[in-house]
Amino acid sequence: MFFDPFDPPKEIIEKATQTIQSGGIVLHPSDTVYGLACNPFNQQALHRLLRIKGRPEGKGFLVIVHDLKMIKDLSDNFNEVFYELTDKLWPGPVTFLLNGKKTLPDTILGKKGQVGIRCPALPFLNLWSKKISSPIVSTSANLSGKALPKSIKQLKYLFEKQVDLFLEGGEVNQKTKPSTVIDLTTFPPHIVREGQKLREIKEILER
């Protein structure tokens, strides 16, 4: 299904919401790279997502939230640094690693017991998460250990028959980087993956 992710129609939001709530997998555009999404509290969906990507367990997953209120279901690991950084960098292509709640599935937490959390700027993702009223797992739409697909055609070849809903929001931008990941479980915080807004983030962390 093709749509404008900057001005998503209500029927797209509704269809994506129903798919996630019924335990399905959605391939979707984002403000970074195309992603594969599912319900973080549905173990069957999480294991299916791992199989689709060919990804081993233990790495954990990134979770999208609409606002800070949603984070209470994911972590208790909040401090002044977290609120300062989210105030300056969210919504946007920045992921924060926090110590996850022990009630979260091990598939989400990974071996380190952490959860990656991001509040995206793209209207579609923001409205989708708000509609669901729950966090959404979103991992890059690529096979584990392989390069990101360079076109919609390649995405469709790899995943169209593997997912329940394929949302096309424009051609793949090969220059787009994933989100920058900042580990807030240590002090001082440190960058574990370099991506978008890297210079701005380094300036903030070095102050």
Q: What's the average model confidence in pLDDT over 62-89?
A: 89
Domain definitions of the chain by residue range: 10-205
Class of the domain covering 10-205: alpha beta
The string of pLDDT tens digits covering residues 29-40 is 999 999 999 999
Cα 79 to chain centroid distance, Å, stands at 22
Question: In this predicted structure, what is the pLDDT of residue 207?
Answer: 77
The string of pLDDT tens digits covering residues 113-162 is 999 999 999 999 999 999 998 999 999 999 999 999 999 999 999 999 99
Which residues, in sequence order, are CB contacts of 169 under 8 Å at separation 6+? 2, 3, 4, 5, 28, 29, 124
